[in-house]
Structure 1
Amino acid sequence: MNEILKQNKTAFYVFDVKTLKDRVAYLRKMLPENVAVCYAIKANTFITAELENDVDRFEICSPGEAEICDLLDIPDEMMVISGVYKTPEVMENMVANGKCDRIFTVESLTQFNLFKELSEKYKKKISLLLRLTNGSQFGINSDEIEEIISKRNEFEYLDILGIQFFSGTQKTSLKKLKREIDKLDNLLILLKEKYDYTAEELEYGTGFPAAYFKEDNINEDELIGGFAQLLNEMTSKPKITLELGRSIAAACGKYYTHIVDKKCNKGENYLLVDGGMNHIVYYGQHMAMKQPYLSVCGKETEPCTESWNICGSLCSMNDIIAKQISLPDIEIGDVICFENTGAYCMTEGISLFLSRDIPSVYIKKEDGTYLCVRDSFETFNLNKPNYRKETN
C-alpha cells in the first residue's frame, strides 16, 4: 500500500477482493441455501469480473453496463437486462444477435409490447420478469400483471418466468420487509389460484443496508437471519433470487484523498482535500452531518488532538465531506482514507463539475497485489465545446 500511496499524488480508490468475496460468503451463509444472489453492477462496475464465480447473475440497467459485461465476457445466462428505459434499438440488437439467453425485465406495457413484437419478428424465445411497481416510476401495477398472465398463452415466444420487485435501499426494518414479502407471496398465490400460473422465479431487491456512519447501529445477523426466516415461511415456493448492490459492494472499498490545505475561519477548522463530493457520495450523508469511518494514513494509532471540517476542492459550499471530525496532528500532504466506499461513491459523484480529474481505481487481489484497472484522467476534454464549421 505504501507504494500505491507514493505513486498517486491525487485521490484514488481501492477495492479489496478478499473483503468482497468474504461479504458474499457471509450473505450466502445467512440466507436459505436455495436462494440465488444477483449483483446489481450499477453499485460498482469495477468489481464485476471479480464476482463472476461468486454470484449467480448480474443485473444490468443500461446499454453501457451491458457493453461492460460483454467486454468482461460475462455469460449471457448470467445477465438480467433491467432498467426503467430500455432503448428499443439496443433491445432489438440483442434479440437479433442471439442474446436471448439473457433475462429481460418488463417495466411498462410499452416494454412488454416491444418484447412481444421482437419475439415474433425474430421467432426467438425471450424470458421475462414482470416488475411489480412500488408506487414509483418503476414497474407495472398488479392488475396489469394479471392481464398479461391471463393472456400468456397468446404469446408464443415469450416465457414469463415470474415477478421482480424492488422498493428502496438502506432498509433496516424486518416489519417492512415482512410486509413486502407478504404482498409478493399473496400476488403469487393469486396468480396460481386465479390463472393457474405458477411463477418459476421471484427476483427481490431487499435493499439491505450498509453501515456508513459511526451512528449506524445495524445488527446484520438479526436482520438477515430474520429475513431468511420470512422467506422460509412463504406459502408460494418460487425460486428466489435476491438482487443486491450496496450490501455486496460497500465494505470492499476505500477512498484515499490528500490534504492540500488547512485553515481556521472564524473559529472553525477546515481541511481542504484534493477530492470531494465529485468523488465520494455516502447514502444519507445529509450535508456531512454524519461522521463516516475514516483515518489518516500512517497516523491510525496516534491520539486525536483537534476537530476539523473536511471539504473538497469544488467551488461549492456544498462540498463538505465531514464535519467536526477528531483527527491526530495533521499536515498538508497527509492522506485521509474513507472506508466503506465500494458502492456508488465512484459513480454517483458529480464527476464533471469544474472539470476536475477522475481518480484512479485499483483492485487489491486476494494475494495482496494491486492492479490498476482505471488510470486517473482529465475531464476538461469532456466539458469543452467543440465548435464545428456550420453546414447548410
Structure 2
Amino acid sequence: MLSIEKITQLAKENSTPLYIFDKDELADRISSIKRIVGDGVTICYAMKANPFLLDAAKKLNVKFEVCSPGEFSICERENINMSDIVLSGVNKEKHDIEHVMDDCGGVGMYTVESVSQFELLNECAAKRNITIPVLLRVTSGNQFGLDEAEVERLVSHRENYPNIDIHGIQCYTGTQKKKIDHITKELEWLDGICDMLKEKYGFNARELEYGPGLPVSYFGEDAFNNSYDMLKEFAEYLKPLKSKYKITLEMGRYIAATCGVYVSSVADTKTNKGQNYCIIDGGINHVNYYGQTMAMKVPAYTFVKADGTAAAGYGAKDYGTEPEKWTICGSLCTVADVIVKNLPIGKPESGDMIIFYNIGAYSVTEGIYLFLSRKMPKIIAYSEKEGTSLYRDFKFSDKINSREDLI
C-alpha cells in the first residue's frame, strides 16, 4: 500500500479530486491469490470492477472477463491478447460478435446467457465454418444465465451444433459473501450439475468457471486487514476439483479494491444548527463503498493537514480520539451527497485533504459522474519502478450534458 507521504505528494502534484491506482499493490495481490489457489487454477479479472487496471493487469498472466462492446473496445486499445478474453454479457449483438470473429480472430472463450444467445453464436460460427469454445452460464435465480433444464437440453443436443464446443459451465452468484459455507455449497451444486451431465449424456465438462464473490472489508479497522484467510479456506475446497476440471476463478472486487485510493481536498467548512459540515471538492459521484448505509459507516481514511501531517484516521498517532466531529459532504447540490457522518477530524481547513482507501473497485465507474455537470476526477497510476502515469486528466462533463452544436 502506498504511504501517506507518497499519496499526499502525488495529490499535491496532480491536484484533487484524484484517483491513484497502485500497480505494485495490484501485482502483489494477484501474485498472492495465485500462490494460495495453486496450480490448475486460472485467475480471470472482471474488468467491470476497474477498466483502468488493464494496463497493469495484462502483464500479470490473467484472463479478462468482458461484458460489453465498450469493454471489448478498451481491450482492443490496450492490446489485450484475444485468447485471454472471456466474452460474457447478457446482450450480445450480432454485429459485435461478427466484429470479434472477423476482425479480431475470435476470443479465448464465449459464455452463453440464453438459448437465443447460444443459437446466435452457433449461427455466426457456422457461417464462418469455425468452432468456438463455449461455457454455459447457469443461473442462480435471477436474469443471468440459463435455467438448469436449458443447460441439460443444450448438452443433450450438442451434436446438432458442430460449431459449438461446450467446454463446461460458468456461474457467478454475487459479491461480498461473508460465509465460506455459502461458497462451498455453490461449488458442490455446480459439481453436481457436471456429474449429472456426464452420467445422463456422457458429457465430460472440461472447465468450471466460478465467481466466488469473496468479501472485501471497507469499514473500520478491518479495512486495513484484508487478509487472505477466507481464500485459503476456499483453496482447500478446490483441491479435489482440480483433477476433474480446468478451474477459472472470476474476480473483480477482490482483486481491485485494495489497489486504489481517492483523495479530495477540503473546500469549505460550516456549522449549521449545531452540526459541523466539511465540504470537499469530490463527493458521492466519485466514492462508492459497497454496504455503506446513509453515510453511517466509517470507511478507511486518513485526514491530512495541508502541511502533510496525518491528523486523524489511519496513520495518525491520535487515531479516533479527536473530540470534534464533522460530517463529510461533497460538492453536489443534493442532500444525498454525504460520504460519512460525524468523522473525528478535529479542525478542518481549506487545503487539508482526506484520503479514502480501498477505492480501487467500482468507484471509478459506478459514480454518478454526469450529475450537476461537475468535473470528473483525474486518474493516475503509480509504481515504484515506473513512477507516475497519467491515465486520464480532469474531464468536464458539461460538454457531455449539453447540445453538441453548442460545443
TM-score by length of 2: 0.91
SS in 2 for 1:48: helix
Question: Which residue number corresponds to residue 142 of structure 1?
Answer: 148
The alignment status of 1:383 with 2:383, answered yes or no, reads no
The alignment status of 1:210 with 2:228, answered yes or no, reads no
- Is the Cα contact below 8 Å between 1:95 and 1:124 reproduced in 2? no
Measured in 1, the distance between the counterparts of 2:272 and 2:290 equals 28
The alignment status of 1:334 with 2:352, answered yes or no, reads yes
- Residues 45-84 of structure 1: pairs in structure 2 closer than 5 A: 45-84=51-90
CA spacing shift, 1:157–1:257, aligned 2, 3 Å: same
Question: Which residue number corresponds to residue 169 of structure 1?
Answer: 175
Question: Which residue number corresponds to residue 225 of structure 1?
Answer: 232
Question: Which residue number corresponds to residue 238 of structure 1?
Answer: 245
- Is the Cα contact below 8 Å between 1:39 and 1:55 reproduced in 2? no
What amino acid maps onto 2:129 in structure 1?
K
Question: Which residue number corresponds to residue 313 of structure 2?
Answer: none
- Residues 145-164 of structure 1: pairs in structure 2 closer than 5 A: 145-164=151-170
- Is the Cα contact below 8 Å between 1:100 and 1:127 reproduced in 2? no
Question: Which residue number corresponds to residue 256 of structure 2?
Answer: 249
- Is the Cα contact below 8 Å between 1:215 and 1:291 reproduced in 2? no
SS in 1 for 2:400: helix
Measured in 2, the distance between the counterparts of 1:156 and 1:285 equals 49
- Residues 271-286 of structure 1: pairs in structure 2 closer than 5 A: 271-286=278-293
The alignment status of 1:318 with 2:336, answered yes or no, reads yes
Deviations 1:312-344 (A, max 9, x none): 111111111111111143211111110000000
SS in 2 for 1:380: helix
Deviations 1:199-237 (A, max 9, x none): 111110111111111175877443111111111244971
SS in 2 for 1:259: strand
Measured in 1, the distance between the counterparts of 2:279 and 2:172 equals 38
Measured in 2, the distance between the counterparts of 1:235 and 1:367 equals 36
The alignment status of 1:372 with 2:382, answered yes or no, reads no
Q: What runs of 5+ residues in structure 2 fail to find an aligned partner?
A: 1-5, 311-315
Q: What runs of 5+ residues in structure 1 fail to find an aligned partner?
A: none
Measured in 2, the distance between the counterparts of 1:118 and 1:96 equals 10
- Is the Cα contact below 8 Å between 2:376 and 2:396 reproduced in 1? yes
SS in 2 for 1:383: coil
- Is the Cα contact below 8 Å between 2:137 and 2:171 reproduced in 1? yes
CA apart distance, 1:368: 6.2
Measured in 2, the distance between the counterparts of 1:208 and 1:242 equals 11
Please, what is the CA RMSD of the aligned residues? 1.8
What amino acid maps onto 1:354 in structure 2?
L
What amino acid maps onto 1:348 in structure 2?
E
What amino acid maps onto 1:366 in structure 2?
E
TM-score by length of 1: 0.95
What amino acid maps onto 2:398 in structure 1?
F
Deviations 1:152-175 (A, max 9, x none): 112111111111100000012111
SS in 1 for 2:396: coil
Measured in 1, the distance between the counterparts of 2:61 and 2:298 equals 32
Deviations 1:340-380 (A, max 9, x none): 00000111010100000011101002326111111011010
**Which stretch shifts more, 24-33 or 3-12?**
3-12
- Is the Cα contact below 8 Å between 2:113 and 2:146 reproduced in 1? yes
What amino acid maps onto 1:250 in structure 2?
A
- Residues 31-42 of structure 1: pairs in structure 2 closer than 5 A: 31-42=37-48
Identity among equivalent positions (%) equals 41
Deviations 1:269-307 (A, max 9, x none): 111011001111111111211110111232323633421
- Residues 11-50 of structure 1: pairs in structure 2 closer than 5 A: 11-50=17-56
Measured in 2, the distance between the counterparts of 1:197 and 1:10 equals 56
Deviations 1:163-194 (A, max 9, x none): 11000000121110111011001001111111
Measured in 2, the distance between the counterparts of 1:359 and 1:239 equals 40
Measured in 2, the distance between the counterparts of 1:61 and 1:235 equals 27
The alignment status of 1:360 with 2:366, answered yes or no, reads no
Deviations 1:74-122 (A, max 9, x none): 1110001111111221112212335323311101111101011111111
The alignment status of 1:94 with 2:100, answered yes or no, reads yes
Measured in 2, the distance between the counterparts of 1:156 and 1:98 equals 22
- Is the Cα contact below 8 Å between 1:165 and 1:205 reproduced in 2? yes
SS in 1 for 2:375: coil
CA spacing shift, 1:363–1:177, aligned 2, 3 Å: same
**Which stretch shifts more, 86-95 or 256-265?**
86-95
- Is the Cα contact below 8 Å between 1:80 and 1:104 reproduced in 2? yes
Measured in 2, the distance between the counterparts of 1:188 and 1:54 equals 30
Measured in 1, the distance between the counterparts of 2:42 and 2:384 equals 24
**Which stretch shifts more, 162-171 or 20-29?**
20-29
Measured in 1, the distance between the counterparts of 2:150 and 2:196 equals 14
Measured in 2, the distance between the counterparts of 1:381 and 1:326 equals 38
CA apart distance, 1:140: 0.4
Measured in 2, the distance between the counterparts of 1:289 and 1:99 equals 50
SS in 1 for 2:136: strand
Deviations 1:126-171 (A, max 9, x none): 1111100010100001110111111111211111111110000001
Question: Which residue number corresponds to residue 347 of structure 1?
Answer: 365
CA apart distance, 1:264: 1.1
What amino acid maps onto 1:41 in structure 2?
M
Measured in 2, the distance between the counterparts of 1:220 and 1:109 equals 40
Question: Which residue number corresponds to residue 299 of structure 1?
Answer: 309
- Is the Cα contact below 8 Å between 2:221 and 2:300 reproduced in 1? no
